[in-house]
Amino acid sequence: MRSHQNPLKLIEILADGEFHSGEELAASFGITRAGINKYMKVLREWGLDFTSVQGKGYCLIAPIDLIKKCKIDHYYQADSRCEILPIIDSTNQYLLDKIGQLRSGDCCVAEFQSKARGRRGRRWFSPFGSNLYFSMYWQLEQGVAAAMGLSLVVGIVIADILRELSGQDIKVKWPNDLYLNDQKLAGILVELAGKTGDCAHAIIGIGVNLMMTNPDPNIVNQKWANLGKVDRNLLVARIVKNLNIKLSEFEKQGLAPFISDWNRLDNFANRPVKLLIGDNIIRGIAKGINEQGALMLEQDGKIHAHIGGEISLRGDE
């Protein structure tokens, strides 16, 4: 963390999106301009885009509204129990390493992740300050069987928040994606850890594309969408608040009260889809979910339930 301190201080200065001269920056750090160049290189490695103009200095391509605990708590009007981690390997891993010290609802948010992961062993592109990278711990009293339902509820909660903040028609895709205009806007990764007694521990990771530019094609290899500019501190505050409310509701009542929300938001409702299960492809018409969180698929006039970690869903029109 110590070695990140000066590049992070530099970002605080550049976050306003204005030009700052090399001399001014060097003076405020008490170092040479070559030293500033070294920090700028780190910023580039973290995915920040900036211009440098002779005689004017450095300027970020876009200003950044940095995530601050005090701003989140201002919107949440309570202690959000949300830790801000400017630089981390993965917010999910950070919470996984702390299981045993966590209460349901404890969470963290990062500006940059160096080893972010997606589902099925994929990576998640996480440049500094452009998007949202968030994780929350939740104890599942009903054990691992409740994990599928929990992740569907998370999708519903996040879709509704993003709809409200952006006014756009955001949808859910079974089991764990959010879509905008048939393109992936956000992903959810629920990781389960160390069963104690009957309960299980869930780490819910959420990545939302907001202002992403030039994603690494080795990591982002499907059609993707950005939400656009939103107040990220407000977004985090809403997520913390609404997840706490809705996951408590899910714990008491299960998935049944959420089925109508799923139907309202379902990107593929009544559309032909194909399910990829290992090497198998199953074609059918998507017919929503059941109370266990299974995908209901109409095949040859009959409805079948499909559940399982390796299922993925693509439009088939």
CB of 135 to ligand BTN, least distance (A): 5
Q: Which residues bind ligand BTN (CB under 6 A)?
A: 90-92, 113, 116-119, 122, 124, 133-135, 177, 187-189, 205-207
Active-site residue, 119 included: yes
Closer Cβ to ligand BTN, 42 or 203, answer by number: 203
> Closest distance between ligand BTN and the C-beta of residue 168, in Å?
19
**Of 58 and 93, which has the nearer Cβ to ligand BTN?**
93
- Smallest distance, Å, CB 113 to ligand BTN? 6
Minimal CB distance to ligand BTN: which residue? 187
Q: How, if at all, do strands 107-113 and 82-88 pair?
A: parallel
Nearer to ligand BTN, 71 or 117 (CB): 117
The distance of closest approach from Cβ of residue 137 to ligand BTN in the complex, given in angstroms and rounded to an integer, is: 12
Q: State the minimum distance, in angstroms, from the CB of residue 90 to ligand BTN.
A: 3
Q: Which is nearer to ligand BTN, 40 or 266 (CB)?
A: 266
Catalytic residue among 71, 119, 173, 232: 119
Choose, from 9, 33, 184, 274, the residue flagged as catalytic.
Answer: 184
Q: Which of 68, 223, 264, 314 is labelled catalytic?
A: 314
Closer CB to ligand BTN, 123 or 304, in the complex: 123
The set of catalytic residues is: 119, 184, 314
